[in-house]
Amino acid sequence: MRKSQIFNYQDGKLHAESADLHAIARQVGTPCYVYSRTAIEAAWLEYDDAFNDRMHEVFYAVKANDNLSIIKTLHLLGSSFDVVSIGELLRVLDVGVDASRVVFSGVGKSVQEISRAIKLDVGTINIESLEEFERIEAVTNELGMSVNVAVRVNPDVDPKTHPYISTGLKNNKFGVPIEDALELYKRIATSRWITATGIACHIGSQIVDVEPILEAVKQIVLLASGLEALGIKIKTIDVGGGLGISYKDEQPPKISSFVSALLGAVPANFKIALEPGRSIVGHTGILLTRVELVKQTAYSRFVIVDAAMNDLLRPSLYSAWHDIVTCDEKSADEIEGASLCDVVGPVCETGDTLATGRKLSVLEGDLIGVLDAGAYGAVMGSNYNARLKCAEVLVQNDSFEIIKARQSFEDMVKIEREYLIPE
């Protein structure tokens, strides 16, 4: 679903699907995240359908949005899950997912995490280094339990995305340099409890050009045939995260074209695994926030809102662009005539800026929305400035449900009060 279909004006009021965002803000308060269930389902199905009858598995990357109801929505569709911590694994299991449907990635899994994941019978562990292999081997020897693994290779391919979210270059901390992978697979083959079933790769996030991904896949396919020549048979090629989305003017290909390119690049005897996060939930979420004050100085016009960098960190951390929309429809003339504003939060940092230089016709008390906030939004939230974590809402058609209550002050301080130092 296009975002203009998800978030649309009806009788001059912005709706998510057919639910009035003003009504949600009145009932739930602001700031709050609102997600469209229909759009989340459509995005996941777009991936799954595009594979037709080719062997595949779509693992939703839980890090993008780990709300239990969102995980459950995808579980009900038949999704598998990519997790990067024991916490994410437990979240997924909490809504009834079978551990065999989970791939455990991440560059620094602790001994405890590895041991617990193996005891829980996790589907696959993606190994990120020789050192990690040795750690996993020690754990399996001690437990006397087996585990399937894939080696995450680092193909040294430039994904042409923001440097903070680029992961497949040789100087990045991720994966095993592809030239060292063969030796590692040979070591794994000698291991009593560890079976290599796949090769994995993830070169970065917010990728809108599939060429670098195809380049990485080419190298993986070569590696797989090198392994086969040694008698090591790989079943799955995991190409990592999904496509980027359009925040401003990026033009990612359609999910179906991306998947057909993958089908062309991976021989049919391999199962293809994908770990999309952003493209499943990113465009399906809005951060609703109310204008506290409009502060005009001789130099700038600040729209000070009740959401801040602790609610949505992306603009502060990556200078990321998010479109800002008003929840009351404005005419083209009103927008044209509006002054340029910076949308800022109440946190005591200049970096607490959600958007700069936007034409916005708004007044104190108005409700506005930050678009494309469904991925890496609420999950990256914090309590900075002792601000409470946002409520989250899931919409379907014209109805909505709270899927995460706003944090209370009591919730926030409980784990400190219990440990308060004595007089």
- Which residues belong to the active site? 348
Comparing CA positions, the residue from 411, 205, 406, 393 lying closest to residue 317 is: 205
Name residues contacting ligand LLP, limited to 313-352 (CB under 6 A).
Answer: 314
Nearest distance in Å: CB 241, ligand LLP = 2
Three-state DSSP class for 147?
Answer: strand
**By CB under 6 A, is residue 277 in contact with ligand LLP?**
yes
Q: Which long-range contacts (CB under 8 A, 24 or more apart) does 260-264 make?
A: 260/50, 261/210, 261/214, 262/213, 262/214, 262/217, 263/51, 263/54
Residues binding ligand LLP: what is the number (CB under 6 A)?
19
Scanning 68-76, 277-285, 287-295, 304-312 for contacts with ligand LLP by CB under 6 A, the matching segment is 277-285
**By CB under 6 A, is residue 128 in contact with ligand LLP?**
no
Q: Which is closer to ligand LLP, CB of 144 or CB of 163? A: 163
Q: Which is closer to ligand LLP, CB of 204 or CB of 345? A: 204
Nearest distance in Å: CB 161, ligand LLP = 9
Name residues contacting ligand LLP, limited to 19-78 (CB under 6 A).
Answer: 61, 63-64
CA–CA dist 129, 158 (Å, integer):
20
Nearest distance in Å: CB 387, ligand LLP = 19
Q: Which is closer to ligand LLP, CB of 91 or CB of 202? A: 202
Q: Virtual CA dihedral for 191, 192, 196, 200, nearest 10 degrees?
A: -60
Name residues contacting ligand LLP, limited to 94-113 (CB under 6 A).
Answer: 105
Q: Which is closer to ligand LLP, CB of 275 or CB of 352? A: 275
Position with the least CB separation from ligand LLP: 241
CA–CA dist 198, 224 (Å, integer):
9
Query: Site mask, ligand LLP, residues 225-264, x = CB under 6 A?
Result: ---------------xxx----------------------
DSSP labels for 226-285? Answer: HHHHTT----EEE--S-----SSS--PPPHHHHHHHHHHHS-TTSEEEE---HHHHGGGE
| Residue with token string 């639910």 | 19
Q: Which is closer to ligand LLP, CB of 206 or CB of 326? A: 206
DSSP label of 375 = S
Other Cβ atoms closer than 10 A to 208: 16
**By CB under 6 A, is residue 376 in contact with ligand LLP?**
yes
Q: Which long-range contacts (CB under 8 A, 24 or more apart) does 52-58 make?
A: 54/263, 54/268, 54/272, 55/268, 55/270, 55/271, 55/272, 56/271, 56/272, 56/273, 56/274, 57/236, 57/271, 57/272, 57/273, 57/274, 58/273, 58/274, 58/276
Query: Site mask, ligand LLP, residues 129-168, x = CB under 6 A?
Result: ------------------------------------x---
Nearest distance in Å: CB 245, ligand LLP = 9
Work out which of 37, 91, 202, 322 binds ligand LLP, going by CB under 6 A.
Answer: 202
The contact set with ligand LLP (CB under 6 A) reads 61, 63-64, 82, 105, 165, 202, 205-206, 240-242, 275-279, 314, 376
